[in-house]
A = this chain, B = another copy of it.
Amino acid sequence: MTDTLTGGKFQKLNRAPAYQAVSQKIRSAILNGELKAGELLPTEMDLAEQFGVTRTTIREAIRLLEYGGLIGRADRKRLVVCLPSKESASNSLSTAMLMHEVTFKELWQIANGLEPLAAGLACDSMTTELKEKLAANLERTGAAKSDTKELLEAEIEFHNLIAQAAHNNALLMAREPLNQLFYPAFKAVIERMHPGGRILDCHTRMFEAICKGDKKTAEEWMQKHMADFERGIKMAGLDFNGPIDHQNL
Protein backbone atom coordinates (compact mmCIF):
# COMPACT_ATOMS: atom_id res chain seq x y z
CA MET A 1 0.00 0.00 0.00
CA THR A 2 3.08 2.23 0.22
CA ASP A 3 3.45 3.75 -3.17
CA THR A 4 6.95 5.14 -2.94
CA LEU A 5 6.55 7.05 -6.15
CA THR A 6 3.54 9.26 -5.64
CA GLY A 7 3.54 9.26 -1.86
CA GLY A 8 6.97 10.41 -0.83
CA LYS A 9 9.30 13.34 -1.09
CA PHE A 10 6.85 16.17 -1.34
CA GLN A 11 4.34 17.26 1.18
CA LYS A 12 1.06 18.83 0.28
CA LEU A 13 1.77 22.53 0.07
CA ASN A 14 -0.98 24.41 1.78
CA ARG A 15 -2.22 27.54 0.16
CA ALA A 16 -4.77 28.53 2.74
CA PRO A 17 -7.30 31.13 1.68
CA ALA A 18 -6.59 34.71 2.62
CA TYR A 19 -9.40 34.97 5.12
CA GLN A 20 -7.83 32.21 7.16
CA ALA A 21 -4.46 33.90 7.16
CA VAL A 22 -6.00 37.18 8.22
CA SER A 23 -7.96 35.44 10.92
CA GLN A 24 -4.78 33.84 12.25
CA LYS A 25 -2.96 37.17 12.32
CA ILE A 26 -5.73 38.81 14.28
CA ARG A 27 -5.97 35.86 16.61
CA SER A 28 -2.25 36.00 17.29
CA ALA A 29 -2.41 39.71 17.90
CA ILE A 30 -5.05 39.09 20.52
CA LEU A 31 -3.17 36.28 22.22
CA ASN A 32 0.02 38.33 22.20
CA GLY A 33 -1.74 41.12 23.94
CA GLU A 34 -1.24 43.56 21.08
CA LEU A 35 -4.99 43.74 21.03
CA LYS A 36 -6.26 43.69 24.57
CA ALA A 37 -9.67 42.49 25.65
CA GLY A 38 -12.13 45.34 25.73
CA GLU A 39 -10.39 47.26 23.01
CA LEU A 40 -12.26 48.17 19.88
CA LEU A 41 -11.10 46.48 16.72
CA PRO A 42 -10.02 48.77 13.90
CA THR A 43 -12.81 49.31 11.42
CA GLU A 44 -13.20 46.83 8.61
CA MET A 45 -11.96 49.38 6.12
CA ASP A 46 -8.88 50.00 8.23
CA LEU A 47 -8.13 46.32 8.47
CA ALA A 48 -8.75 45.89 4.77
CA GLU A 49 -6.16 48.53 4.00
CA GLN A 50 -3.64 47.19 6.51
CA PHE A 51 -3.83 43.65 5.19
CA GLY A 52 -4.20 44.74 1.61
CA VAL A 53 -7.40 42.84 0.98
CA THR A 54 -11.04 43.64 0.54
CA ARG A 55 -13.58 44.24 3.22
CA THR A 56 -15.27 41.00 2.18
CA THR A 57 -12.17 39.03 3.10
CA ILE A 58 -11.78 40.88 6.37
CA ARG A 59 -15.36 40.19 7.29
CA GLU A 60 -15.00 36.48 6.65
CA ALA A 61 -11.87 36.44 8.79
CA ILE A 62 -13.71 38.15 11.60
CA ARG A 63 -16.61 35.72 11.45
CA LEU A 64 -14.10 32.95 11.92
CA LEU A 65 -13.12 34.43 15.26
CA GLU A 66 -16.55 35.56 16.28
CA TYR A 67 -17.75 32.03 16.90
CA GLY A 68 -14.96 31.38 19.37
CA GLY A 69 -15.96 34.40 21.41
CA LEU A 70 -12.68 36.21 20.89
CA ILE A 71 -14.56 38.97 19.17
CA GLY A 72 -17.95 40.30 20.05
CA ARG A 73 -20.04 43.33 19.37
CA ALA A 74 -19.92 46.24 21.76
CA ASP A 75 -23.12 47.96 20.84
CA ARG A 76 -24.13 46.24 17.68
CA LYS A 77 -21.78 48.31 15.59
CA ARG A 78 -18.04 48.36 16.28
CA LEU A 79 -16.53 45.02 17.18
CA VAL A 80 -14.51 44.54 20.34
CA VAL A 81 -11.93 42.07 21.49
CA CYS A 82 -13.42 39.85 24.18
CA LEU A 83 -12.37 37.61 26.98
CA PRO A 84 -14.34 34.54 25.92
CA SER A 85 -17.01 33.68 28.43
CA LYS A 86 -16.95 30.17 29.77
CA GLU A 87 -20.17 29.49 27.91
CA SER A 88 -18.89 30.48 24.51
CA ALA A 89 -15.57 28.81 25.24
CA SER A 90 -17.14 25.45 25.87
CA ASN A 91 -19.67 25.59 23.08
CA SER A 92 -17.53 23.82 20.51
CA LEU A 93 -16.55 21.15 22.98
CA SER A 94 -20.16 20.59 23.94
CA THR A 95 -21.39 20.28 20.39
CA ALA A 96 -18.48 18.05 19.53
CA MET A 97 -19.45 15.75 22.38
CA LEU A 98 -23.03 15.81 21.17
CA MET A 99 -22.04 14.87 17.67
CA HIS A 100 -19.81 12.10 18.91
CA GLU A 101 -22.85 10.76 20.70
CA VAL A 102 -21.30 10.78 24.10
CA THR A 103 -23.35 8.84 26.64
CA PHE A 104 -24.73 9.90 29.98
CA LYS A 105 -22.43 7.39 31.56
CA GLU A 106 -19.33 8.92 30.01
CA LEU A 107 -20.28 12.41 31.08
CA TRP A 108 -21.26 11.22 34.51
CA GLN A 109 -17.89 9.59 35.00
CA ILE A 110 -16.20 12.90 34.30
CA ALA A 111 -18.54 14.80 36.54
CA ASN A 112 -17.96 12.20 39.20
CA GLY A 113 -14.29 13.06 38.95
CA LEU A 114 -14.58 16.83 38.79
CA GLU A 115 -17.35 17.60 41.26
CA PRO A 116 -15.76 15.93 44.27
CA LEU A 117 -12.51 17.54 43.23
CA ALA A 118 -14.21 20.93 43.34
CA ALA A 119 -15.73 20.16 46.72
CA GLY A 120 -12.35 19.14 48.06
CA LEU A 121 -10.58 22.22 46.74
CA ALA A 122 -13.32 24.41 48.12
CA CYS A 123 -12.35 23.22 51.58
CA ASP A 124 -8.93 24.79 51.16
CA SER A 125 -9.96 28.17 49.91
CA MET A 126 -13.37 29.05 51.22
CA THR A 127 -14.23 32.72 51.62
CA THR A 128 -16.86 34.34 53.76
CA GLU A 129 -18.47 35.81 50.69
CA LEU A 130 -19.01 32.40 49.17
CA LYS A 131 -20.15 30.99 52.47
CA GLU A 132 -22.89 33.58 52.48
CA LYS A 133 -23.83 32.84 48.90
CA LEU A 134 -23.96 29.14 49.63
CA ALA A 135 -26.07 29.72 52.73
CA ALA A 136 -28.45 31.81 50.65
CA ASN A 137 -28.55 29.06 48.08
CA LEU A 138 -29.49 26.49 50.72
CA GLU A 139 -32.38 28.69 51.77
CA ARG A 140 -33.40 29.06 48.17
CA THR A 141 -33.39 25.30 47.72
CA GLY A 142 -35.39 24.83 50.88
CA ALA A 143 -37.93 27.43 49.86
CA ALA A 144 -38.34 26.02 46.38
CA LYS A 145 -40.29 23.03 47.67
CA SER A 146 -42.08 21.56 44.66
CA ASP A 147 -41.37 24.42 42.29
CA THR A 148 -39.21 22.31 40.02
CA LYS A 149 -38.00 25.16 37.87
CA GLU A 150 -36.76 27.06 40.88
CA LEU A 151 -35.30 23.90 42.37
CA LEU A 152 -33.46 23.17 39.15
CA GLU A 153 -31.88 26.58 39.06
CA ALA A 154 -30.90 26.39 42.69
CA GLU A 155 -29.36 22.99 42.20
CA ILE A 156 -27.24 24.20 39.31
CA GLU A 157 -26.32 27.32 41.21
CA PHE A 158 -25.16 25.23 44.14
CA HIS A 159 -22.72 23.28 42.06
CA ASN A 160 -21.45 26.38 40.35
CA LEU A 161 -20.88 28.02 43.69
CA ILE A 162 -18.91 25.03 44.92
CA ALA A 163 -16.80 25.23 41.80
CA GLN A 164 -16.29 28.92 42.34
CA ALA A 165 -15.27 28.24 45.90
CA ALA A 166 -12.55 25.99 44.57
CA HIS A 167 -10.96 29.14 43.18
CA ASN A 168 -9.88 27.42 40.06
CA ASN A 169 -10.89 29.17 36.88
CA ALA A 170 -9.76 26.33 34.69
CA LEU A 171 -12.01 23.98 36.59
CA LEU A 172 -14.89 26.39 36.26
CA MET A 173 -14.43 26.39 32.51
CA ALA A 174 -13.80 22.68 32.20
CA ARG A 175 -17.03 22.01 34.05
CA GLU A 176 -19.10 24.11 31.72
CA PRO A 177 -19.63 21.52 28.99
CA LEU A 178 -21.07 19.24 31.64
CA ASN A 179 -23.46 21.97 32.68
CA GLN A 180 -24.57 22.50 29.13
CA LEU A 181 -24.97 18.86 28.24
CA PHE A 182 -26.50 17.69 31.46
CA TYR A 183 -29.06 20.46 31.61
CA PRO A 184 -31.95 18.52 30.04
CA ALA A 185 -31.14 15.56 32.24
CA PHE A 186 -31.02 17.72 35.36
CA LYS A 187 -34.41 19.00 34.45
CA ALA A 188 -35.92 15.61 33.82
CA VAL A 189 -34.48 14.21 37.04
CA ILE A 190 -35.63 17.05 39.23
CA GLU A 191 -39.09 17.15 37.75
CA ARG A 192 -39.54 13.52 38.63
CA MET A 193 -38.16 13.81 42.10
CA HIS A 194 -40.27 13.61 45.24
CA PRO A 195 -40.12 17.03 46.86
CA GLY A 196 -38.05 17.39 49.98
CA GLY A 197 -35.88 14.54 48.90
CA ARG A 198 -32.23 14.13 49.67
CA ILE A 199 -31.03 17.13 47.72
CA LEU A 200 -31.23 19.67 50.48
CA ASP A 201 -29.80 17.23 52.97
CA CYS A 202 -26.83 16.47 50.74
CA HIS A 203 -26.18 20.11 50.03
CA THR A 204 -26.39 21.07 53.68
CA ARG A 205 -23.98 18.42 54.82
CA MET A 206 -21.60 19.31 52.08
CA PHE A 207 -21.79 22.95 53.02
CA GLU A 208 -21.06 22.16 56.64
CA ALA A 209 -18.15 19.92 55.78
CA ILE A 210 -16.65 22.55 53.52
CA CYS A 211 -17.02 25.24 56.13
CA LYS A 212 -15.18 23.03 58.57
CA GLY A 213 -12.53 22.35 55.98
CA ASP A 214 -13.33 18.68 56.26
CA LYS A 215 -12.19 17.63 52.83
CA LYS A 216 -12.90 13.93 53.15
CA THR A 217 -16.49 14.38 54.23
CA ALA A 218 -17.15 17.04 51.62
CA GLU A 219 -15.90 14.78 48.86
CA GLU A 220 -17.89 11.85 50.17
CA TRP A 221 -21.13 13.76 50.20
CA MET A 222 -20.51 15.03 46.72
CA GLN A 223 -20.00 11.46 45.61
CA LYS A 224 -23.25 10.41 47.24
CA HIS A 225 -24.90 13.31 45.51
CA MET A 226 -23.56 12.13 42.20
CA ALA A 227 -24.73 8.60 42.92
CA ASP A 228 -28.19 10.00 43.55
CA PHE A 229 -28.02 11.78 40.24
CA GLU A 230 -27.12 8.56 38.47
CA ARG A 231 -30.09 6.81 40.05
CA GLY A 232 -32.22 9.80 39.13
CA ILE A 233 -31.27 9.56 35.49
CA LYS A 234 -32.23 5.93 35.37
CA MET A 235 -35.46 6.49 37.27
CA ALA A 236 -36.39 9.32 34.94
CA GLY A 237 -36.44 6.75 32.18
CA LEU A 238 -33.33 8.07 30.46
CA ASP A 239 -30.90 5.60 29.00
CA PHE A 240 -27.78 5.91 31.11
CA ASN A 241 -25.73 4.10 28.51
CA GLY A 242 -27.27 5.91 25.59
CA PRO A 243 -26.27 9.16 23.92
CA ILE A 244 -27.52 12.44 25.35
CA ASP A 245 -30.02 14.68 23.59
CA HIS A 246 -29.47 18.09 22.20
CA GLN A 247 -32.43 20.15 23.22
CA ASN A 248 -30.07 22.96 24.01
CA LEU A 249 -28.57 23.57 20.58
Contact = CB atoms under 8 A, between A and B. Distances in A.
Interface of A: 19, 24, 27-28, 30-31, 37, 56, 59-61, 63-70, 83-86, 88-93, 95-100, 102-103, 106-107, 109-110, 113-114, 117, 121, 168-171, 173-174, 177, 246, 249
B109 A121 contact: yes
A24 to B, nearest CB: 8
21 contacts: A24-B249, A27-B249, A31-B95, A31-B246, A64-B67, A65-B67, A67-B68, A67-B92, A68-B91, A68-B95, A83-B96, A84-B92, A85-B96, A89-B97, A91-B92, A92-B92, A93-B93, A97-B169, A102-B173, A109-B171, A110-B170
Given A28-B249, A60-B60, A99 B113 contact: no
Q: Which 4 A-B pairs have the closest CB atoms?
A: A89-B96, A63-B63, A84-B96, A106-B170
Identical subunits present: 2
A31 B97 contact: no
A84 B70 contact: no
B173 A99 contact: no
Contact of A102 (B27, B95, B113, B170): B170
Contacts of A28: 249
Contacts of A171: 106, 109-110
Contact of A169 (B68, B70, B92, B100): B100
A83 to B, nearest CB: 5
A179 to B, nearest CB: 13
A95 B84 contact: yes
Contacts of A69: 92, 96
Given A64-B66, A110-B170, A174-B177, A93 B90 contact: yes
Residue in A61, A66, A83 whose Cβ sees the most chain B Cβ within 10 Å: A66
A10 to B, nearest CB: 16
Chain B CB count within 10 A is highest, among A24, A63, A69, A109, for A63
A42 to B, nearest CB: 19
Given A84-B95, A98-B31, A63 B19 contact: yes
Nearest to A111: B170
A106 B64 contact: no
Contacts of A169: 97, 100, 102, 106
Nearest to A176: B93
